[in-house]
Chain A
Amino acid sequence: MEQIRDTSSIKGWGADSDKLNRPAHTMWEIPIEGTGAHWETPEQQPGFKDFVSIERPRVTKVFGNTVHPKGLSGLVRKMAFKKSEGTFSHWMMLIFADRIGIVEGYLDDFKQGKLPHPLRERGWNMDKKFKTRRYYKVLTMSGLLTVGLIASVVKLTYGNRR
């Protein structure tokens, strides 16, 4: 078995071995200043439109202000935020809301006149380059599926007329 014993060949070996030279080490013992903050408490960011964990007394001073809750997924999220962070149901409801959000996402795309392209969004171009067999398999499968779907729709509409 290969073992490295001659540590002198390792660039920088032991450079950090003395903890006194490792300023990052003792977090609680060194008096800390110079975090960059020049306030006792930060100013409050205005315009909060989301949920606050029930493990908090108030909204934090700063927050992300994007993709606010809406629709059915928003309702599920609202329910989720009635539970504390230690509960299984809190997180499961959030994951469930995320999945509902996928369907809502398709609807939003259509509303904005965008045609979602699930395969391209999955980066299938890379499969073409590096996983050619998988790429053509997916291509054939989705081709067959589309043809089958069209055929059955045609059969249903025209077949019934006779």
Chain B
Amino acid sequence: MIATNYRGPYRIRADRDKSLPKIEHPNDAIIRVTRSLICGHLYHGLVPDCRVGSVFGHEFTGVVEEIGKSVKNLKVGDHVVVPFNIACGSCLFCKHQLYGNCHETVPQASAMAGFFGYSHTTGGYDGGQAEYVRVPFADVGPYLIPEDISVDDAVLLADAYPTGYQAAEMADITEGDTVVVFGAGPVGIFAAKSAQLMGAGRVIVIDRLEYRLEFVRRFAQCEAYNFEEMDDPVVFLKKETDWMGADACIDAVGCEASGSKLQGILGVKMKIRSGSAVALQWAINSVKKGGTVSIVGVYGPTANLVPIGNAVNKGITIRSNQASVKRHIPHLVEHIREGRIRPSEIITHRIPLEEVSDAYHLFSNKLDNCIKPVLIPPHANM
């Protein structure tokens, strides 16, 4: 079958000779992929134990082709969206709906649940940027796409939209709050929109890419500003919020943040810190005393330059996690159904799976005003 093949940082291709996935556990399913989204920083070689030869892709939809003998909740032919976390449904964490922290799916590490196509630090599973993919715990993860929801909307329920939603949820928004979202990528865009849906009085998005700021202003009906035009984003935000700071700040940027030479050199170039934590630094410094900082941006596992002293002095709450995707899907489907949001509006490019090298380069370099490209395998009807 055709499958992506990671060859090292910034190098990926589609091979045609990958063997088909097999049922390896009674609760596995094999899924024929219909849509698969691209997400960036794995491709930059920043995630440890990301082995050459891996198949990427953790946001996908597909049709069930084969099921293991213990699968009860799915049948062959079902069209499903598959959450990016692989969860057993029965461990302590799954029982509390912390599906992003399932304890039975990653032998190599203990913090997170397994992810599809995302290094051996998350279990070493092949991902969905392929024609077929093995989906473990098929009775837990996959969600049947309702008739009235389009596949393009559904595929965003695998990660980006639930992650943005959880970012807003963790920000503990009460009606009228001022919420600042750092990052106008897919996750930040959905976080801003979700903050509105939770009744925020004012949502301010910060990024440096004009086309994304433009998009989020329209999509989430919020304010959006370019930090490259500011002397100091923290002072700008203080001024914007009556010199008090925002009630909540959301970090939807993660370890590849720009905006500080020091952080960039130590964290991204030399890798002696796990990435550049500029956005998080700004978030902690610009939130109101007693406010909440919600982190969904991804950081490496070691340590970052974060103003923890300031966090203590201001008495802020920091909440963070990998999104518990399965927990959010039914509720987010309602939002789509009610017409409050159309997630697929962020899809800017539709690219055949065979052209995966180009798709990654486009996304990673933010060429052609790219927000989110979707890969389409040859047998999936466009």
Residues of A within 8 A of B (CB): 1-4, 7, 9-17, 22-25, 27-28, 32, 35-43, 45-48, 50-53, 55-56, 59-67, 73, 77, 80-81, 85, 88, 91-92, 94-95, 97-99, 101-102, 104-105, 108-109, 116-118, 120-127, 129-131
Contact = CB atoms under 8 A, between A and B. Distances in A.
A151 to B, nearest CB: 28
Given A10-B221, A126-B367, A24 B123 contact: no
Contact of B175 (A17, A52, A77): A17
Contact of B104 (A13, A25, A60, A77): A60
B108 A53 contact: yes
B97 A27 contact: yes
A129 B367 CA distance: 9
Contacts of A120: 13, 357
Contacts, number: 254
The B interface, classified by DSSP as helix, strand, loop or mixed, is loop
A161 B125 CA distance: 56
B236 to A, nearest CB: 11
Interface string B92-105: 00111110000111
Interface stretch (B248-256, B280-288, B332-340): B332-340
B290 interface: no
A13 B197 contact: yes
A119 to B, nearest CB: 9
B120 A95 contact: no
Interface residues of B, number: 98
Nearest to A7: B201
Interface stretch (B50-58, B206-214, B259-267): B50-58
Nearest to B86: A62
B139 A4 contact: no
Given A36-B140, A50-B124, A60-B107, A12 B197 contact: yes
Main secondary structure of the interface of A (DSSP, over half): loop
Contact of A42 (B27, B174, B341): B27
B175 A14 contact: yes
B53 A51 contact: no
A28 B98 CA distance: 10
Given A32-B97, A67-B124, A16 B104 contact: no
Interface of B: 7-13, 24-27, 45, 48-55, 70, 72-73, 86-90, 94-98, 103-111, 114, 120-121, 123-126, 136-137, 139-141, 165-166, 169, 173-175, 194, 196-199, 201-202, 221-223, 240, 271, 274, 300-303, 324, 326-328, 330-331, 335, 338-341, 355, 357-362, 365, 367-368
Contacts of B98: 27
Contacts of A123: 357-362
A63 B123 CA distance: 6
A67 B357 contact: no
A33 to B, nearest CB: 9
Contacts of A94: 48-49, 121
A122 B327 CA distance: 36
A39 B331 CA distance: 26
B144 to A, nearest CB: 12
* Nearest 7 CB-CB pairings of A with B: A123-B361, A37-B89, A12-B340, A17-B199, A64-B125, A64-B124, A102-B8
Contacts of A40: 90
A140 B373 CA distance: 30
Contact of A102 (B7, B12, B55, B303): B7
A80 B121 CA distance: 12
Contacts of A42: 25, 27, 88, 90, 104, 137
